[in-house]
Each structure stands twice: as structure tokens, then as C-alpha cells.
Amino acid sequence: MAAPDARSAVAEAGEVIARLVRDVPDFPEPGVVFKDITPLLADADGFRAVVAALAEPGRGHDGRPVVDKVAAIEARGFILGAPVALDLDVGFVPVRKQGKLPGETHAASYALEYGEATIEVHQDGILPGDRVLLVDDVLATGGTARAARELVERSGGEVVALAVLLELSFLSGRAVIEDLRLTSLATV
């Protein structure tokens, strides 16, 4: 997609998210307000606008891609990250939960509120020197994004930016991802 279209999509994206991302209180557990993106996915114009906006940090000033890969985090990250990769005309690399990828993997673990999670990437998914745009739906505590960055770097790649639909600023994920450039299309 041409850069001017993408830029207008960035301007649109905040309104689209406010209108089409639904708050679901007490899901999956009491006290959590779940950000449900399914109404957004069901709206072709809204979906197209956020995909274009999420791709923007993967473009230079001239609108051309400055990344070699898009990597996204299971599962909602895949729904957003795959069309972002095609928008940028670059490859897509899935970051999956432990035990799902059939080949040799790098793995990274991170703390959850209760317990621990592990994510993996194929060792040959990201090549040394690859510049990578990371995509997910929500930045919450930042643990997932930090672990995904670690996987890219262990593969010899570099994360150029993290692009998310929504940043939950009260959970301070921005501090956890440290110097990683963040593009969030909306902040609550």
C-alpha cells in the first residue's frame, strides 16, 4: 500500500479502535477488562485501517519498507501481523507458545501474574541481520513483548519497533520494553 494511504490510516486508527474494540469486564478472570478485537476484525474498513497503521513503523520516510520481517505473537498477534507483513511485502514469522513449532527453536520464558509462560521461534525464522517489526494486539505488562524481542535478538535479528493496537498504560509495559520503539494506535 502506498505511504499516503497508510498515513491517513494512522489518523483513522484511534477512532476505529475506540469504536470497534469492545471492553469485556471480568474476562478471563475477575478484575480484568479484556480488550476484544473481534468487532474490529469483522469490519473490513476498520481492519484495513489498523493494518495500514500498524505497518507504518516498518516504513521509512519515502514509504518503503525498512524491515525484512514481521514477527507476531500467538494468537491475536497473528491475525494482525500476517496482513501487516503482506502490506509491507515482507515475510512473516510466528512467535508461538511452547511446543507448537515443529523445528528447532529458540525459547524465552517470562513471568505471568501466576506462574510462567514460554514462547518460541524457529531458529531459521529470523536470519542474522534481519530487521524486524514486532506486532501484537495489546501491550499490557510488557513481558510478552520483551521475551519476543529476546527471541529475535537471539536469532541475530534486531527489533526496529513494536506496533500494537492498544497500550494499557496503567500496567507500565512501556518501562519493561525499555528502549524498544513503541507505536500504539490507542492508549488507555
Residues that are catalytic: 76, 113
Region of 31-39, 42-50, 55-63, 152-160 interacting with ligand AMP (CB under 6 A): 31-39
Looking at the Cβ atoms of 6 and 37, the one nearer to ligand AMP is: 37
Please state the closest distance from residue 172 (CB atom) to ligand AMP, in A: 10
Question: Are the beta carbons of 156 and 177 closer than 8 angstroms?
Answer: no
Looking at the Cβ atoms of 157 and 173, the one nearer to ligand AMP is: 173
Region of 28-36, 38-46, 87-95, 97-105 interacting with ligand AMP (CB under 6 A): 28-36
Long-range Cβ contact pairs of 2-9 (< 8 A, separation 24 or more) = 2/63, 3/59, 3/62, 3/63, 4/63, 5/52, 6/52, 6/53, 6/55, 6/56, 6/59, 6/63, 6/87, 7/56, 9/48, 9/49, 9/50, 9/51, 9/52, 9/53, 9/56
Phi first, then psi: give them for residue 43, nearest 5 degrees: -110, 105
* Interface with ligand AMP (CB under 6 A), residue from 69, 76, 106, 149: 76
Site string for ligand AMP, 101-140 (x = CB under 6 A): -----------------------------------xxxxx
Q: Dump strand ranges (E) for 74-142.
A: 91-97, 105-111, 116-122, 131-139
* Interface with ligand AMP (CB under 6 A), residue from 16, 20, 73, 182: 73
Looking at the Cβ atoms of 76 and 149, the one nearer to ligand AMP is: 76
Query: CB-based burial of residue 151 (10 Å sphere; 0-12 exposed, 13-18 middle, 19+ buried)?
Result: buried
Question: Packing angle between helix 44-55 and helix 3-20, nearest 10 degrees?
Answer: 120
* Interface with ligand AMP (CB under 6 A), residue from 107, 141, 154, 174: 141
Region of 32-40, 84-92, 127-135, 152-160 interacting with ligand AMP (CB under 6 A): 32-40
Count, residues near ligand AMP per rule CB under 6 A: 17
Grid cell, residue 188, equals: 488507555
The residues binding ligand AMP (CB under 6 A) are 32-35, 73, 76, 136-145, 173
